[in-house]
Amino acid sequence: MEIPKDKIIQLLKDRGDHDKAAEAERELPDKVDHEEHSNLLEKHGIDPKELLGKIGF
């Protein structure tokens, strides 16, 4: 499932991870697949399996 990058950035900001949010803004594609891009998500402190529930997908 593809998730808009801006939703992931907002999730990081809401958690107070502004540095990770800025880094993710530069590194993540516009549409993020939670399975295909799991390594990138984990790099930014996001568990791909929990991501869908946290952003309401």
**Residues 51, 48: Cα–Cα separation, whole Å:** 5
**Residues 44, 31: Cα–Cα separation, whole Å:** 16
Beta bridge partners of 32: 3
Q: Using one digit for the tens of pLDDT, what is the confidence trace for 8-39?
A: 999 999 999 999 999 999 999 999 999 999 99
- A 10 A CB-CB count for 17 gives 17
CA-to-CA separations, 48 to 29, 31, 42, in angstroms, rounded: 15, 14, 7
pLDDT at 57 over 70: no
Say if CB 55 and CB 8 are below 8 A apart: yes
